[in-house]
Amino acid sequence: MGGDLEWCRPGNRRRLHRRCCAVTHSETKPNTCQRNLEKLPVALATLIQRPQWCVWHWTQKPDGKWQKPPYMATQPDRHASTNDPNTWADYPAALAAVQAGHADGISYILTEDDPFGAIDLDHCRDKLCSIDVWAQNFMQQAVATYQEVTPSGEGIRIWGLAEGNPIHNKFSLEIDGKKIAAELFRRTNKALTITGYTLNPRICEFTHIDKVFSWAIVWGERRKAQIKVVTPTSGNGFDSSGCRFSIDQIEQIVREGPPRLIGIDTIASCAGYSRAGDEYDNAVGQAVMNVLKAVAQR
């Protein structure tokens, strides 16, 4: 399952909707989704060389939810602090603690001085390994860098090189009736789990993802703004009545091309742009059409 481009499988790439399951509280510790921590992917070598490691335990909160707080690798019963290097260890020490059964997994402590960044995509992957379209759009933006499945099996983390201004943002949204979150970390202190469950074993190094951060901020702010938008009653602007596709699905169509038997005009109208004669009623609508027509001609 981890030996090929899992998220690019046809069944996953075209999956547009997901059935939400009811969440029940359980005293049973969740299964941990991770690979052999002793043989991490070569792309993680740049992290392994740094003495910024700790371990984590599945810990249940009073509300029944499970979390993964950081603990010291050398003293696994004591919490580690992202601001205190004295509570960190090197990778071999963290690995040894897990192998001895003192912890459930390992975490890397990202710091404000690191040349790295990470993006978390929460609640985007199901037990059948299908990944939601909104997350696929993130992953496509960062396709050349390292990406792995998180310990819950329900999320994806993107790692890469970054040198922009500090970012510590979380976009909590609802897409297709499901609550999701996208978290951005750059030039900030944060303990981030490492599973080694790579989505592309051929990726051998981190690549620059500052442009992905810029794209992600626009993505998040645009969706936050959507919640506040009131559909205009006039013929100008956005009107999504009767729309068959979400914005994320429209972006996927632009990226991959329109499905068979779906016309360009249908896609554009689903994006929320109506037509007046031979011209579209605003510049944005016309721009969307230009892109879609170019895609159709590939």
| Averaged pLDDT for residues 151-175 | 97
- Tens-digit pLDDT profile for residues 85-136: 999 999 999 999 999 999 999 999 999 999 999 999 999 999 899 999 999 9
Question: How would DSSP label each residue in 169-188?
Answer: EEEEEEETTEEEEEEEEESS
Q: What whole-number distance in Å separates Cα of residue 267 and Cα of residue 11? A: 21
Q: What whole-number distance in Å separates Cα of residue 165 and Cα of residue 160? A: 15
Q: What is the band of 259 on the pLDDT scale with cuts at 50, 70, 90?
A: low
Amino acid at 169: N
Q: Which residue has the tokens 């985007």?
A: 124
Could you tell me the pTM of the whole model? 0.74
pLDDT recorded at residue 256 = 65
For the chain, domain boundaries:
6-224, 247-296
Task: From 110, 206, 229, 100, select the one nearest 158 (Cα to Cα).
Answer: 206
- Tens-digit pLDDT profile for residues 9-52: 434 444 433 333 334 456 799 999 999 999 999 999 999 999 99
Amino acid at 238: F
- Tens-digit pLDDT profile for residues 169-219: 999 999 999 999 999 999 999 999 999 999 999 999 999 999 999 999 999
Q: What whole-number distance in Å separates Cα of residue 157 and Cα of residue 41? A: 14
Phi–psi pair at 242, nearest 5 degrees: 75, 10
Question: In Å, how far from its chain's centre is CA 43?
Answer: 18
Task: From 36, 118, 113, 124, select the one nearest 82 (Cα to Cα).
Answer: 113
Q: What whole-number distance in Å separates Cα of residue 36 and Cα of residue 196? A: 7
Q: What whole-number distance in Å separates Cα of residue 207 and Cα of residue 185? A: 15
**156 close to 124: Cβ distance less than 8 angstroms:** yes
Does position 3 have pLDDT exceeding 60, yes or no? no
pLDDT recorded at residue 248 = 73
Least confident piece of the model among 13-22, 39-48, 257-266, 282-291? 13-22
**141 close to 85: Cβ distance less than 8 angstroms:** no
pLDDT recorded at residue 98 = 98
Indicate the DSSP class of residue 43.
Answer: G
Task: From 156, 129, 154, 151, select the one nearest 140 (Cα to Cα).
Answer: 156
pLDDT recorded at residue 227 = 74
Task: From 203, 197, 122, 193, select the one nearest 161 (Cα to Cα).
Answer: 203
